[in-house]
Amino acid sequence: MVLPGIQALFGFQLIAVFNQRFSELLPRTGQVLHLAALVLVAVAIGLIMAPAAYHREAERGTISRYLADYASRLMMIAMVPLLVSISIEVALIAYAILSLLWISALCGAALGIFFLSLWFIFPALHRRANR
C-alpha cells in the first residue's frame, strides 16, 4: 500500500525538474535540495521493495519469521528517508509560493515532526505502555 504512493511521489519529483518554472521559482540551493529529496525517495523505494526481491529469490513459496522481521525492519527504516524527503519538498513548495525562507523551513520542520510523531514516537509510546 505504501509503495504506489511513494512511486507516485517519485514520478512527480522527476517531472518537476522538466518544468520551466522549476529554475525560476527555486534558487540553486532549492534545486539541490530537490535532488536530495528525489534521491531519498529512491532510497525509500529500494528499502520497501527489498523484502519482495529477497522473498522471490531466497524464500519462494514460504514465509519465514526472518522474512517477516526483515520486511518490517526495512519498512521502518524506509520511513526515515521518506519523512525527510517529504519535509524537504513541502518546504520547497512553501518557498516557491511564499518566498519566505523561515516560513518555508517552519512548514517543512513541522511536517517532519508530525510524521516523526505518527510513525515513530506514538507507536513507541504505545509499545511501552503495553509491556
The 10s digit of each residue's pLDDT in 54-85 is 998 888 888 899 999 999 999 999 999 999 99
Write down the pLDDT at residue 1: 64
Q: Print the domain residue range for 64.
A: 2-129
Instruction: State which of 10-14, 27-31, 56-60 shows the largest mean pLDDT.
Output: 27-31
Angle, nearest 10°, between helix axes 101-116 and 65-98?
A: 160
Give the three cell numbers for residue 70. 526483515
